[in-house]
C-alpha cells in the first residue's frame, strides 16, 4: 500500500509541478510521462475519447484482417485461463485501435466504464502512459501498474502488452492482458509474450505459404506467356518470374528490381494486379513489356544490354527521373559531349559520374571541376596546367591541368556558364583540336577525353545576351540531359529517404506524416536540401524525449510550406487558397476530406482515421484548404 501511495505522490508532483525523481520510476515509464507532458495529454482524463463504431470499426478490422485471422485461435486457446484469472485480453492494431476484446464478464463491464472497449484508440497520445500505447511507442514489451499510468482513467488497472512484428520488423499490432490492479500478477507479461510469439510464428508460416503459392502461380503464368515479354513482380517491385523470351534477353532478370529491368531497353505496356487463387490476396502484378529501340545518328543500338547499369544515387520510380536514366544509358557508350541542365542540388554530378561509369572510359579518370568556384586569373592554369617557371610561385616541376589529368577518361565542368570570355575562346580551341598547351609552354599535348558540362543557368539566354559564345554553346550542347527537380519526383521520396538513411545509418521513422510533409514542401534546394533536412532530423531525434510530430512542425511549419509552394525558382506562380485554383491532387484531397467529415459527422479525428492519414496532417489541410 505504501508503494501505491508513493507512486501516487510521485504522479501528483509530476502533474502539478513537472518535477520527477528518476529513482522513483522505471526508465521507460519516466520517458513516457515526459512524452505525455510534451504532447499535453490530460492527466485527469477519466475515459477513452476516440471510439470507432459501426462502419469505421469494420473498416479498421478489414485493414487488419490477416492479423485478426492469425491471432484468433491463439487468443481462443488462452481465453479460459484469462477468464478464470479475472482478466481480459485485447488484440490491438498498429494504430492503437482495439480490434477484439475477450475475458471475464465482470472485468469487461468495469472496462466499459472507462471506454476500454472494442474500437477505442488506446495510445499514449490519446490516454497517456499505458501498456498498449507505450509498447507501440517503444516497440518493447511493457507492464504498467496503477498510478504508473499517466491518466487517471487507468489508475485502477494493471496492464501488460507486447508488440507483434512481421518478418520485416514492422509492427503489426499489440497483444494486451489487463485486470484491476489488485488482481495484478507478474505472469501477465510472460503470457502476452507467449501469445505474441505464437501469433508471429503463425503469420510467418502463412506468409511463407502465400509466397510459395505466389511463386508457383507466377512461374505458371510465365510459362503460359513464354513467347511474350512478360514478367511478374512482387509488392516490393522485385521480378519473381519472367517469360522465356525475357530470360533469354536478360539472363539475370529474375531477382532484379523492375526499374533495373526496364533500364535494359523496355517499357511497361500493360499491367494488372495479381491475386492468389486460394486467398484472393493481392501479392504483386503482371506486366507485359515492349522493347524501345535506341537510336543515334548513324546506328541503332540493341534494345537491351546484358551489362549492369551503375548509378551511385537512388534511382527511384518517378517517370521524370526514369526518363533521365534512359538518356544516360543511351549516351554512355558514345563519346559525345553531354550538356546537363537542372536546378542547384538536383544531382548533376551524379549524372555525369553515371555517364562515365557506364561508358568504355569507366577505367579511366573522372575529373570534376566547379568553374564557378575558381578565381578567373587561375582558371587557365587550373584547366590547362603550366610549365616549370611559368610564373612566380609556380611549382618547380610544373603542373598537369585538369584536362591532362582526365586524359583517357572524362572531365566534368560544372557551372560552365561562369567562365569568362577569354577562357571560352581557349576552351573552344581544346574542343576543336583536342590538344592543350600548358601556360608558359609551347608544346601541344594531345587529348583523348570526353567532356561533360553542367549548369543551373540558361546558356541559351546567356548566348542571346552576348556573354556566352554561340559557337562554344553548340559545341557543348551535343546531347542535352535535363535533371528533374525534386518537385517533379514526389514518388521518389520513400526511396530517397531510405537510401540516405541506410547510407548514413540514420534512424528516422518512416511515417505517413513524414512523407506527406516532404511531398507538400517545394524543395528549392532539391536533393541537397533534402539530405540536410534528414541530417537535422536525425540529430533532433537523438534526444530521447523528442517527438516526431513536433520535429516535423519545426522543420516544415505551415507558413514555410505555403510560401515555398509559391516560389520554386520562379517557375511556380502564387496559389490562392480556393478550391478553384488548387492543384488537381489538392482538389481530390479536399473532396475526400469533405466526404470523410460528412460521414463522421464532423469528427476530425475519426475523419483523419477514415482517410488513413495522421491527424496533424488532416488539421494542416483543413487550414490550407480553408475548411
CATH of the domain at 174: 3.30.450.40
Distance, CA of 607 to CA of 594 (rounded, Å) = 9
**615-625 and 548-555 helices cross at what angle (nearest 10)?**
30
Q: Output phi, psi for 157, to 5 deg.
A: -120, 155
Residues 380, 439: contact at Cβ < 8 Å? yes
Same domain, 292 and 363: no
Q: What is the pLDDT of residues 527-550, one digit of tens each?
A: 999 999 999 988 888 887 777 878
Same domain, yes or no: 267 and 379:
no
| 99 has pLDDT over 50 | yes
Asked if residue 2 is part of any domain, the answer here is no
Instruction: Work out the percent of the chain whose per-residue pLDDT is above 70.
Output: 88
Regarding whether 556 and 424 lie in a shared domain, the answer is: no
Average pLDDT over residues 64-69: 90
Q: Which residue has the higher pLDDT, 224 or 73?
A: 73
111 contact partners, CB below 8 Å, separation of at least 6: 88, 101, 117, 178
Which range of 62-66, 151-155, 281-285 scores highest in mean pLDDT? It is 151-155
Q: Give the CA radius of gyration of the chain.
A: 31
232: pLDDT strictly greater than 50: yes
**Based on the domain organization, do 294 and 380 belong to the same domain?**
no
Structural domains of the chain, count:
4
455-459: Cβ within 8 A, 24+ apart: 455/340, 455/341, 455/414, 455/415, 455/416, 455/417, 455/418, 456/341, 456/342, 456/343, 456/344, 456/348, 456/415, 457/415, 457/417, 459/339, 459/416, 459/417
- Residues in contact with 211: Cβ distance below 8 Å, sequence separation at least 6, in sequence order: 283
What is the pLDDT of the chain when averaged over all its residues? 83
Q: Which residue has the higher pLDDT, 4 or 599?
A: 599
Identify the band that residue 307 occupies on the pLDDT scale cut at 50, 70 and 90: low
Q: Is residue 432 part of a domain?
A: yes
CB 527 within 8 A of CB 490: no
- Spell out the residues 6+ positions from residue 503 whose beta carbon is closer than 8 angstroms to its own: none
Domain span at residue 385 reads 319-482
Strongest mean pLDDT among 24-33, 267-276, 441-450, 548-557? 441-450
Query: Closest Cα to residue 347, out of 527, 547, 95, 476?
Result: 527
Burial class (CB in 10 A: 0-12, 13-18, 19+), 253: buried
Among residues 452, 482, 512, the one where a domain terminates is: 482
Same domain (yes/no): 50, 93? yes
Q: For residue 301, is pLDDT > 60?
A: no
Single residue among 207, 237, 263 that ends a domain in this structure? 207
* Low-confidence winner among 21-35, 102-116, 318-332 (lowest mean pLDDT): 21-35
The whole-number pLDDT of residue 603 equals: 76
Q: Is residue 379 situated within a structural domain?
A: yes
At 377 the pLDDT is: 75
pLDDT band at 389 (very low <50, low <70, confident <90, very high): low
Q: What's the average model confidence in pLDDT over 401-417?
A: 93
Are 61 and 120 found together in one domain? yes
> What band does 558 get if pLDDT is binned at 50, 70 and 90?
very low
CATH for 455:
3.40.50.300
- Pair 288, 418 in one domain: no
Same domain, 502 and 385: no
Rounded-to-integer distance, Cα 30 and Cα 226, Å: 62
Is the same domain home to 431 and 561? no
Cell of 165: 512484428
Assigned domain for 10 exists:
no
In this structure, is residue 84 part of a structural domain?
Answer: yes
Which pLDDT band, with edges at 50, 70 and 90, does 580 fall under?
very low
- Answer yes or no: is pLDDT of 109 > 90: yes
Q: Which of 176, 52, 194 is nearest to 107 (CA)?
A: 176
Are residues 371 and 470 both part of a single domain?
A: yes
Report the C-alpha gap between 288 and 271 in whole angstroms.
6
Higher pLDDT, 185 or 557: 185
When pLDDT is cut at 50, 70 and 90, the band that residue 278 belongs to is low
Q: What mean pLDDT comes out for the span 226-251?
A: 88
Whether 283 and 334 share a structural domain: no
Answer yes or no: is pLDDT of 409 > 70: yes
pTM: 0.46
Does residue 575 register a pLDDT over 50? Answer: no
Q: Are residues 292 and 203 located together in one domain of the fold?
A: no
The per-residue pLDDT for 1 is 41
Cα–Cα distance, 362 to 380 (Å, whole number): 27
Q: How deeply is 514 buried, as exposed, middle or buried, from its count of CB atoms within 10 A (0-12, 13-18, 19+)?
A: buried
Domain boundary among 455, 482, 509: 482
**Within a domain: 496:** yes
For residue 565, pLDDT beyond 70 = no
Amino acid at each position: 500500500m505504501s508503494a501505491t501511495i508513493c507512486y501516487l505522490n510521485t504522479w501528483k508532483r509530476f502533474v502539478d509541478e513537472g518535477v520527477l525523481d528518476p529513482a522513483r520510476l522505471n526508465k521507460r515509464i519516466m520517458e513516457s510521462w515526459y512524452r505525455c507532458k510534451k504532447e499535453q495529454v490530460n492527466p485527469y482524463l477519466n475515459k477513452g475519447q476516440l471510439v470507432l463504431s459501426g462502419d469505421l470499426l469494420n473498416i479498421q478490422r478489414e485493414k487488419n484482417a490477416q492479423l485478426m485471422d492469425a491471432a484468433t485461435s491463439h487468443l481462443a486457446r488462452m481465453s479460459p485461463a484469462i477468464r478464470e484469472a479475472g482478466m481480459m485480453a485485447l488484440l490491438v492494431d498498429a494504430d492503437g485501435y482495439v480490434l477484439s476484446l475477450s475475458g471475464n464478464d465482470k472485468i469487461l463491464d468495469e472496462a466499459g466504464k472507462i471506454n476500454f472497449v472494442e474500437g477505442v484508440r488506446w495510445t499514449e497520445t490519446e490516454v497517456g502512459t499505458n501498456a498498449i500505447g507505450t509498447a507501440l511507442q517503444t516497440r518493447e514489451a511493457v507492464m504498467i501498474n496503477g498510478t504508473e499510468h499517466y491518466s487517471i482513467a487507468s489508475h485502477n488497472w494493471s496492464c501488460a502488452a507486447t508488440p507483434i512484428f512481421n518478418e520485416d520488423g514492422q509492427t503489426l499490432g499489440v497483444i494486451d492482458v489487463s485486470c484491476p490492479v489488485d488482481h495484478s500478477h507478474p505472469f501477465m507479461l510472460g503470457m502476452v509474450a507467449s501469445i505474441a510469439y505464437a501469433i508471429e510464428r503463425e503469420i510467418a508460416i502463412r506468409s511463407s505459404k502465400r509466397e510459395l503459392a505466389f511463386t508457383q502461380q507466377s512461374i505458371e503464368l510465365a510459362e503460359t506467356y513464354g513467347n511474350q515479354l512478360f514478367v511478374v513482380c512482387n509488392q516490393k517491385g522485385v521480378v519473381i518470374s519472367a517469360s522465356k523470351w525475357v530470360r533469354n534477353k536478360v539472363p539475370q532478370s529474375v531477382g532484379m528490381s523492375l526499374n533495373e529491368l526496364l533500364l535494359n531497353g523496355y517499357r511497361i505496356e500493360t499491367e494488372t494486379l495479381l491475386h492468389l487463387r486460394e486467398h484472393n490476396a493481392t501479392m504483386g502484378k503482371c506486366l507485359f513489356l515492349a522493347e524501345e529501340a535506341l537510336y543515334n545518328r548513324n546506328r541503332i543500338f540493341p534494345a537491351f544490354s546484358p551489362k549492369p547499369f551503375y548509378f551511385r544515387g537512388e534511382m527511384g520510380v518517378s517517370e521524370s527521373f526514369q526518363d533521365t536514366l534512359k538518356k544516360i544509358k543511351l549516351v554512355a557508350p558514345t563519346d559525345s559531349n553531354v550538356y546537363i541542365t537542372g536546378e542547384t542540388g538536383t544531382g548533376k554530378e551524379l549524372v555525369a559520374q553515371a555517364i562515365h561509369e557506364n561508358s568504355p572510359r569507366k577505367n579511366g579518370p573522372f575529373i570534376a571541376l566547379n568553374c564557378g568556384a575558381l578565381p578567373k586569373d587561375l582558371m587557365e592554369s587550373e584547366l590547362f596546367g603550366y610549365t616549370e617557371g611559368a610564373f612566380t610561385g609556380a611549382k618547380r616541376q610544373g603542373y598537369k591541368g585538369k584536362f591532362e589529368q582526365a586524359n583517357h577518361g572524362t572531365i566534368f565542368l560544372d557551372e560552365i556558364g561562369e567562365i569568362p570570355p577569354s577562357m571560352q575562346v581557349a576552351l573552344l580551341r581544346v574542343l576543336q583540336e583536342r590538344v592543350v598547351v600548358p601556360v608558359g609552354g609551347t608544346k601541344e599535348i594531345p587529348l583523348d577525353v570526353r567532356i561533360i558540362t553542367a549548369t543551373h543557368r540558361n546558356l541559351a539566354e546567356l548566348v542571346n545576351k552576348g556573354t556566352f559564345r554561340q559557337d562554344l554553346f553548340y559545341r557543348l550542347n551535343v546531347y542535352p540531359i535535363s535533371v528533374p527537380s525534386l518537385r517533379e519526383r514526389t514518388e521518389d521520396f520513400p526511396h530517397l529517404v531510405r537510401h540516405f538513411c541506410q547510407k548514413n545509418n540514420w534512424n528516422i521513422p518512416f511515417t505517413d506524416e513524414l512523407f506527406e510533409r516532404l511531398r507538400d514542401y517545394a524543395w528549392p534546394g532539391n536533393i541537397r536540401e533534402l539530405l540536410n533536412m534528414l541530417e537535422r532530423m536525425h540529430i533532433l531525434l537523438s534526444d530521447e524525449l523528442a517527438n516526431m510530430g513536433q520535429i516535423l512542425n519545426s522543420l516544415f511549419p505551415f507558413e514555410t510550406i505555403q510560401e515555398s509552394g509559391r516560389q520554386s525558382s520562379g517557375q511556380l506562380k502564387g496559389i490562392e487558397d480556393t478550391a478553384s485554383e488548387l492543384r488537381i491532387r489538392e482538389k481530390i484531397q479536399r473532396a475526400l476530406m469533405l466526404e470523410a467529415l460528412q460521414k463522421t459527422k464532423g469528427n476530425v479525428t475519426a475523419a483523419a482515421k477514415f482517410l488513413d492519414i495522421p491527424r496533424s496532417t488532416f488539421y494542416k489541410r483543413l487550414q490550407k484548404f480553408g475548411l
